[in-house]
Structure 1
């Protein structure tokens, strides 16, 4: 599949991996980022925010978004990601289909 081309599935995805650089997870900041992401994808009509996974040993957080086009998802949330303070090593992974499909990764910081 060519990157950015929609497939027949609504299972394209965007994962945002935020490395754990603090001694504890800042849940208030994470909640604010999540709310801003939800608002961005809802207003753009590009998909939905599906939740997070937090590794309490490493304090790494992974945020999950889904929609019909991973590139459009990324475009709709990129202004949010650029406007918040994210640690170095934050990654955005676009998946162009269901589990196991082609992925592209961008490092934000």
Structure 2
């Protein structure tokens, strides 16, 4: 299945350079879970050069399935405290806090 032209889910999070090792471990857990579930793939991770925030990009046919697979992993990571998730459903996007009750 070809990758959609844009991510269907992205996570905006606070990032500090000291977190690089923990971030790589989180990326590995996410990529493995997404692949096992057949939900798509983890794309690139964008880290801003000033070292204060970043984005995880995920691709797949169904943003809700991606969130169902990755949400528990993201919520369990202390690095993701305060993160915002944006899911794309065609032209419609929804942004919510990772710990927002509506997101579960």
TM-score range, shorter chain: 0.7 to 0.9
Aligned to 1:106: 96
- The count of residues paired between Structure 1 and Structure 2 equals 96
Structure 2: how far apart are the matches of 1:87 and 1:49? 16
**TM-score, normalization: structure 2?**
0.81
Q: Structure 1 residues 54 and 38 mapped into 2: Cα distance closer, same or farther (>3 Å)?
A: same
Q: Structure 1 residues 67 and 52 mapped into 2: Cα distance closer, same or farther (>3 Å)?
A: same
Aligned-residue offset at 1:25: 4.5
**In the TM superposition, what whole-angstrom CA distance separates every residue of 1:49-87 from its partner, at most 9, and x where no partner exists?**
011100021420100000000000000101211221135
Gaps of 5+ in 2: 100-104
> Which of the pair has the greater relative contact order for Cα pairs under 8 Å at 6+ separation?
1
Tell me the C-alpha RMSD between the 2 structures.
Answer: 1.9
Gaps of 5+ in 1: 1-8
Q: What SS class does the counterpart of residue 79 from structure 2 fall into?
A: coil
Bigger CA radius of gyration: 1
**TM-score, normalization: structure 1?**
0.77
Q: Structure 1 residues 82 and 96 mapped into 2: Cα distance closer, same or farther (>3 Å)?
A: same
Aligned to 1:15: 10
